[in-house]
Structure formats: structure tokens, C-alpha cells
Amino acid sequence: MATRHVVSIPVKSSAGRYRAVFDRGGLARLGRHAGAVLPSERVVLVSDAHVAALYAEAALGALGRARLRAEMVVIPAGERAKTLETARRLYDQFADMGVDRATGIIALGGGVVGDVAGFVAATYLRGLPLIHVPTTTLAQADAAIGGKTAVDLPAGKNLVGAFHAPRLVLADTATLATLPDRHMRAGLAEVAKVAFTLEPELLRLLEGAFELDTALQRAAATKARVVSRDEREAGMRMVLNYGHTVGHALEALGGYRRWLHGEAVAFGIRAAARLATLTGAGTAAWEERQNAVLDRLGFARAFPPVSIAKLFSYMSLDKKARAGAPVFVLTARVGVVRVRRSLSLGTVTRALASLGARP
């Protein structure tokens, strides 16, 4: 019999330690995993309509086998459901169900389910025990780890949120078999981000014929290392925003419909790489190396012909902006990261215009 390959990544948070467990086929063992970290046998499974149709039965079956009493609530799929309205509906459902402080919340789905269910778990009754069961490349490699939860406002992404560490992250990479190609690829932008900012070995992996599970685990382990040292983004965690200043602005500009988060981040990385070249923080060769990886992963190279002025106004609203000045994370090479808060509109315009945006 083949041995089961389980990778268990330790994560430190102010609320205690937890583990991000990569276990292919592990959804069938969700009950056992959850039972070990939850305070009571009562759980609410939160999922979105797509994921629920595919995996709710398996998840509920696994919880039942471990004698956990599970109820389920379903939210609409997609970024447009990452709102206060969705959170509000969940609060009402939790109240109807009589959810109490010992009820465990299990977020089964991608980053959207993780962020909304996590936000509700952070705020309902001032905090409920939470487990993430991420089912997208993006959520397994990145979003499920680190305790950030949020919802979007029309004014911008993730503007309302809370830190709420999970008790466990259980990533079953077998669930990725049903993930549409476009989403599969989008998550790899976050893997590339980790490679470009922190992990030379992961970068070399992405430049070769890489194995998906390994790349996701490597990125997750790096994220775990970073958030264990800097949970609240006082310093090092800032690096994980590479590509996100322009990325978040693009997402908002596209009404959270036009580009997936990862697609927007890939454009954001290309923009950051160009800004580094233009300002002398990086080199043209380094920019091209990053572009070549993003090309290989299947991300479009030509920047969308959006208005730079509009994009800049979204960037100024970003929660990391100070006094309207967006913050840019630039890289000189892997591991050499600079945070710049003073890039002028002129410099940003030159960079984005040279990539294809409209001055």
C-alpha cells in the first residue's frame, strides 16, 4: 500500500499555535482532524454554492463519522459575495441556529469563503473557533494561512476585516481536480509572489517542470514562516503585498468581476517589476526573469488599457496607503525587498503606460 504523504506546517499566532496540514484526500478525515481541535461536537460548515455541490456531502459525512453534529450554510460563489451583506446573512443564520461560543465554524472553499466565514467567525459573539478547509490553489498556498479575514466595500478590497487565527488549516489537494483552469492558474500568482520575494528555490522550481502540490506546500510554508514572525504586518509580512497595490486597484476598477484576484496580482507584479527597473531599485534582467515565469504560468503580459489616473485613485484608497500615497513593494532580486511610499504619480504613470495602461 502506498504511504500517505502528509505535510504539517506549524504556524504561530497571538491566539496560539496551529497547523496547516496538506493531506491529499484529507477531506475524508476532516472529522478526525476537526474533532481534535474544536471545543465541542457542534459545527457549522460554511461553503459556497459551487463547492458545496461538489464537496459538502463528503465533508458532512466525514464530520458525522467523527460524531460531530454538523449543520451547513451556503453563500453565493465568487468575489462579489465577499460583502457585509453576506456576513449579515450569516449572522442571522447563526442566530437562528443558536450558534454558541463553543460552535466550530468550518470554512470549506476558496479565499472568498475563507475570508467571509473567517470574518463572521471573528466577530459573531466576539469570536468562534475556526477551521479552514481551502479548496483553491490560492487559498491553499496563501489565503487560509495567517488569520486575516475581510469583506470588500464598493470603495475597495478588504476594507473591513479582522485578524482571527484558525485552529487548523486542512488542505486536501485532491479537491483541486475540479477547480476550473482559470482559477487554478490565478492562485499561482501568489506562489510566484512568494518565489520572487522570498524563495529562490521555489523560483527555480517554477522555472522548471514543477509539481503542483510541492509548489503550493512550499509557498504555504513560506507564508507560515512570515506570519509566524509578523502576524500583524508590522514589518516582514508587508513583503506579501508584492504586486497587490496595483492588483487590488485593478480588481476594484473591474468591479471585482473583470479580473480574478490572482490575475490582478500577476499584472501588479509586472507593474512592480517595471517600477523597480525604472527607479533603479531592480534591473531589466530581473524584471524579465519575473515576466518569463508569469508568462510560463499563463498570465497575460499586455497590461489592460485602463486609465492610470483611475487606477492611482484606487491605489490611494488602499488600506496600506498613507495620506493618499500608495505603498509599493519593490524587489531588487529574490530576498531583497524595498517598501516605497513616495513614488510620484509621474513615475507610476510612466511605468504603467509603458506596460499598456492609458496615461
Q: Which residues bind ligand NAD (CB under 6 A)?
A: 48, 50-51, 54, 77-79, 82, 109-113, 115, 135-136, 138-139, 142-143, 146, 148, 157-158, 175-176, 178-179, 183, 186-187, 261
**Annotation says 237 is catalytic:** yes
Which residue among 244, 270, 274, 340 is the active-site one?
Answer: 244
On whether the CB atoms of residues 339 and 238 are closer than 8 A, the answer is yes
In the bound state with ligand NAD, the residue whose beta carbon lies nearer, of 238 and 345, is 238
**Annotation says 33 is catalytic:** no
Instruction: Indicate the burial class of 36 (C-beta count within 10 angstroms; 0-12, 13-18, 19 or more).
Output: exposed
Write out the three cell numbers for 299.
498570465
Question: Phi, psi at residue 27, to the nearest 5°?
Answer: -55, -35
Instruction: Report the 10 Å Cβ neighbour count for 74.
Output: 19
Which residue among 12, 233, 296, 350 is the active-site one?
Answer: 233
Which residue among 29, 82, 218, 261 is the active-site one?
Answer: 261
Q: Shortest approach of ligand NAD to residue 280 CB, angstroms? A: 30
Spatial CB neighbours of 253, under 8 Å, sequence gap ≥ 6: 306, 310, 311, 314
Q: Shortest approach of ligand NAD to residue 172 CB, angstroms? A: 9
Q: Shortest approach of ligand NAD to residue 147 CB, angstroms? A: 8
Which residue among 185, 241, 270, 274 is the active-site one?
Answer: 241
Q: Shortest approach of ligand NAD to residue 74 CB, angstroms? A: 10
On whether the CB atoms of residues 214 and 195 are closer than 8 A, the answer is no
The gap between the terminal CA atoms of the chain, to the nearest Å, is: 61
**Annotation says 233 is catalytic:** yes
**Annotation says 82 is catalytic:** no
Q: Shortest approach of ligand NAD to residue 234 CB, angstroms? A: 16
**Annotation says 57 is catalytic:** no
Q: Shortest approach of ligand NAD to residue 186 CB, angstroms? A: 6
**Annotation says 296 is catalytic:** no
In the bound state with ligand NAD, the residue whose beta carbon lies nearer, of 259 and 286, is 259
Which residue among 29, 218, 248, 270 is the active-site one?
Answer: 248
In the bound state with ligand NAD, the residue whose beta carbon lies nearer, of 51 and 170, is 51
In the bound state with ligand NAD, the residue whose beta carbon lies nearer, of 187 and 243, is 187
**Annotation says 310 is catalytic:** no
In the bound state with ligand NAD, the residue whose beta carbon lies nearer, of 286 and 299, is 299
Q: How far is CA 22 from the centre of its chain?
A: 16
**Annotation says 211 is catalytic:** no
In the bound state with ligand NAD, the residue whose beta carbon lies nearer, of 112 and 281, is 112
**Annotation says 244 is catalytic:** yes
Spatial CB neighbours of 196, under 8 Å, sequence gap ≥ 6: 203, 242, 269, 290, 293, 331, 334
Cα(63)–Cα(233) distance, rounded to whole angstroms?
34
Beta bridge partners of 340: 328
Which residue among 190, 231, 263, 287 is the active-site one?
Answer: 190
Q: Which residue is nearest to ligand NAD (CB)?
A: 111
**Annotation says 190 is catalytic:** yes
Catalytic residues: 126, 148, 190, 223, 233, 237, 241, 244, 248, 261
